[in-house]
Amino acid sequence: MKRERHEVVVDLINRYDIETQEELAAYLRREGFDVTQATVSRDIRELKLSKISAGGGRQKYIILSNDDSGLGDKYIRVLRDGFVSMNMAQNILVIKTVQGMAMAVAAAIDAMRLPEIVGCIAGDDTIMAAIKTVEDTKAVMEKLEEIIQGQ
């Protein structure tokens, strides 16, 4: 049942610009699934859905595919589209994003699996990445800059 529901969730977010958990739950109910908000929240977490800007001040859920062959095109696009700036505070890297894109950009950064990054916390338009050392922070900034500039 869960696998079937997950397949329907993926299909729904690919067909519609779904902005909220409540909206996703309503679509699932229309498809015959009796879901609660907790179930939808768990599905979102398990499927690793992120939100991106859909224009006009709206957002939508997307799936960032897990591409083990390196940094996938989707991750690069999300990183480039969402990135605004970054600043270093010792071994903390603070990344500013377009409003509503911090979670998607953080997911893209996490997908890079950089060994220097201990972890990321994302808000609406800000990411705080804990880096192992100050030197590592500088190296991560250089890597991100290369990706963003397309080098």
In the chain, how many domains are there? 2
Q: Is residue 132 part of a domain?
A: yes
With tokens 């067909």, the residue in question is 15
Please indicate, yes or no, whether residues 81 and 143 belong to a single structural domain of this protein. Answer: yes
CATH number at residue 14: 1.10.10.10
CATH number at residue 143: 3.30.1360.40
**What is the reported pLDDT for 64?**
61
**Cβ contact 101:52 at 8 Å:** yes
This prediction's pTM: 0.56
79 and 142 fall within a common domain = yes
At which of 11, 31, 47 does a domain end? Answer: 47
Closest CA to 120 of 40, 50, 66: 50
111 and 77 housed in the same domain: yes
> CA 131, 133, 135: angle at the middle one, nearest 5?
110
Q: Is residue 58 part of a domain?
A: no
The two structure tokens encoding residue 129: 């990445």
Strand 83-89 to 58-63 pairing: unpaired
- Could you give the 3-state DSSP secondary structure of residue 33? coil
Please check whether residue 54 lies inside any domain of the structure. no
Question: Are 82 and 143 members of one domain?
Answer: yes
Domain membership flag for residue 53 = no
Helices 37-47 and 21-30, axial angle in degrees (round to 10): 100
Instruction: Check whether residue 90 and residue 33 sit in a common domain.
Output: no
Q: Is the dihedral of CA 63, 68, 74, 78 positive or negative?
A: positive
What is the pLDDT tens value at each position of the chain, 151 positions in all?
899 999 999 999 888 989 999 999 999 999 999 999 999 999 988 888 877 766 677 788 887 655 444 456 778 888 989 999 999 999 999 999 999 999 999 988 988 888 899 999 999 999 999 999 999 999 999 989 888 887 5
The position carrying tokens 């729904």 is: 12
Domain membership of residue 86 as a residue range:
73-149
